[in-house]
Every structure is written in structure tokens, then in C-alpha cells.
Amino acid sequence: MKICIYGAGSIGCYLGGRLAAAGHDVDFIVRPKIQQQLQQYGLTVSDYKGMRQTVPANKLQLSQDLNTAANADFIFVCVKSAATEQVAYELKDILKKDSIIISFQNGLGNVGILKQVLSGHTILEGMVPFNVAALGNGVFHQGTEGALYVKSHPALAELETTFHTAKFEFKLEQNMQEIQWAKLLLNLNNSVNALSQLPLKQQLSIRAYRQCLAMAQTEALQLLKLAKIQPAQLTAVPAQVLPKLLSLPNFIFNLLSKKMLAIDPLARSSMADDLMAGRATEIDWINGEIVNLAAQLNRQAPINTKLIQLIKQAENTAKAWSAEELKKVLETA
């Protein structure tokens, strides 16, 4: 079985690196900068529990040639959401008919975009719940816990075994919409974290930042209730309870949320990484999904709209927002 990682950024390198380290046949379609780094240092994957594995450079199958995907049995699309349509057209004329495509991307609409262009192919939703930080020199570090989810399909038995041999917690789920909305609720912290310019664990230890996240989640949950969408439970508490938990005073939150705070001190959000690297963020595919849902329901989403506005300003002029300053701005949105 051949797996192709299309979009070898942090998530793509981590998933592919874990699978390659377990001896599986993995091709990476990479940008020149990543290829140069991996050819120099090899690919190292590590996690917050102390796992560390390295695939030497001479064992990596790296290419900038899109035709590499032509022979793949499974293609993991891991590009930023803004590039999904371009990827679909790039794949259109090279895929073999029985290739299965799995979107491991943020947002809710990527599979729909892929299906529009790649009709006739099996395209499935995937979800990566954990944080991966690119630490440089070919090192990609998982800083938080969580199981991989993929939409159930009869052809996934071998892939399920493959992930298990690489020590991934891997779950097949029929209703991926509920899983994706639950992940999106957690991802609303990406913007708060990016604006704080702090590691995730430090940011979540500050009550006012948690209250900012709670406001964004509360707004989202009210809209999901109107839309009759019930997000899945991905954490120790139901999604509807998260805003109340986040708003608790520090000493109570710390007692009740030990599992939530089991975050590596190195972990930060992908949105924070994007801002630090001067890249456009995926804010439109995270908080933007809440604003889009509000529009469909003829409602407003002022908290998430304001977070989008602040992140887009930060893409041009980086500014670290204090917790109280950010909270005040959101309360008046």
C-alpha cells in the first residue's frame, strides 16, 4: 500500500513521518524549502509523552513532482484550505481511479470542493485533533493528545491497520459533520492564541484569555443550536459545557482541567505559527465558518467577526494582545 502526503507542512510531515518510521511506503510532495530541510536533517517526529523517532534523509521519498500522486492508493491532502481547489485541479488528470483521498484539513468545506472537481473518486473527511509544532531542523512535535478520525468506508480496513501499527489512535466515524464542528469549536482558540503570542499552555493558564475563547464558543454554540447541529464530544466534557469550564477562576479550572492542560510547553497554534512566519492564516476557515453559519441563519456573529478582523490586522502588523485588552475589545464587539 502506497500513501502520498500532498502538502507536507506540519501535519503532513508528522502523519507521514510516523507512518514512514513504522516502515510504511510514504511519498511526500513537498515545497522546495521543506525538501531542503528534510534532505539535510531527515524527518523527526516527537510527542509530549516522550516519543521520538527519526527517518534518515536517505530513507525519505521526497518530491516536488505532482505525478508522484499518480500511483498512490491513499492521498492525504494536508494543504492549507485556501489551496484546496488548486490541489483538486492538480490531481484531476493524474489520479488512478481507485485512489482514496482523505482531507486532513481545517474547516468544513474542503471535501465538498475536492468532490466538485474530482467527481468519481472516493473522497473522505479526516480530522486531526492534536497540535503539531514545526520546531526546525526537520523536527515536528505533537504537543497535545487526541485520536485521528476518518469517515467510515469499506476500503479503509488496511489503512486502519497501518495507523495502528504506527501507534496512532484511529477512529472511523459515520457522522463526520458532528466531529468537524466539535474540532472547530476547539480551534476557535487558534485566533486567541495567535493574538496572545504565547505558548498554548501559558495562554490557557490565564483566565481572561480563556474567557475570550468562551465568548467565541458560546456564540458558536448558540448558532449551532439554531441550526440543529449537535457537535460531538471530543473532550472530557460536552461541548456545551466548555465555555463555563473555561470561565472558571484559575484555581478551580486547574483542578478540573488537568487533562485539558496536559499540553507540551512547546505547543502553539498553527495560526500563531502562520503569523510568526508571515503567512496568511486560515482564519476564514475557522472563525469564518461561524460567521458563515450566522449569515445562513440571518444572524450576526460579532465575537468571531471581531477575531477575524484582529487576525487580519495582525497578518500585516503583528501585535501581542494582553488578556484584559483582548477581552475588553471582544466584550464591546
Do 150 and 184 belong together in one domain? no
Do 192 and 249 belong together in one domain? yes
Do 165 and 34 belong together in one domain? yes
Do 129 and 216 belong together in one domain? no
Helix (H, G, I), strand (E, B) or coil at 136: strand
Where residue 138 sits, what CATH number does that domain have?
3.40.50.720
Do 144 and 56 belong together in one domain? yes
Instruction: Answer with the one of 174, 197, 213 that is the final residue of a domain.
Output: 174
Do 9 and 112 belong together in one domain? yes
Do 267 and 151 belong together in one domain? no
Say what the pLDDT of residue 258 is: 73
Say what the pLDDT of residue 149 is: 96
For residues 186 and 235, give the distance between their C-alpha atoms in angstroms, rounded to a whole number.
9
Contacts of 36 (CB under 8 A, 6+ apart): none
Quote the number of domains for the chain.
Answer: 2
Closest by CA to 45, choosing from 17, 22, 76, is: 17
Say what the pLDDT of residue 228 is: 96
Do 138 and 200 belong together in one domain? no
Instruction: Answer with the one of 174, 200, 219 that is the final residue of a domain.
Output: 174
Say what the pLDDT of residue 279 is: 87
Say what the pLDDT of residue 317 is: 84
Instruction: Answer with the one of 149, 174, 199 that is the final residue of a domain.
Output: 174
Domain range spanning residue 90?
A: 2-174
Residue in the block written with cell 487558534: 190
Do 77 and 90 belong together in one domain? yes
Do 294 and 229 belong together in one domain? yes
Where residue 236 sits, what CATH number does that domain have?
1.10.1040.10
What global pTM score does this model have? 0.92
- Cα distances (angstroms) measured from residue 286 to each of 20, 90, 196, 328: 30, 25, 17, 22
Do 304 and 166 belong together in one domain? no
Q: Tens place of pLDDT for every residue, the chain, 333 residues? A: 999 999 989 999 999 999 999 999 999 999 999 999 999 999 999 998 899 999 999 999 999 999 999 999 999 999 999 999 999 999 998 998 899 999 999 999 999 999 999 988 999 999 998 889 888 899 999 988 889 999 999 999 999 999 999 999 999 999 999 999 999 999 999 999 999 999 999 999 999 999 999 999 999 999 999 999 999 988 888 999 999 999 999 999 988 887 666 777 778 888 998 998 888 899 999 999 999 999 999 999 999 999 999 999 999 887 899 999 999 999 999
Do 167 and 186 belong together in one domain? no
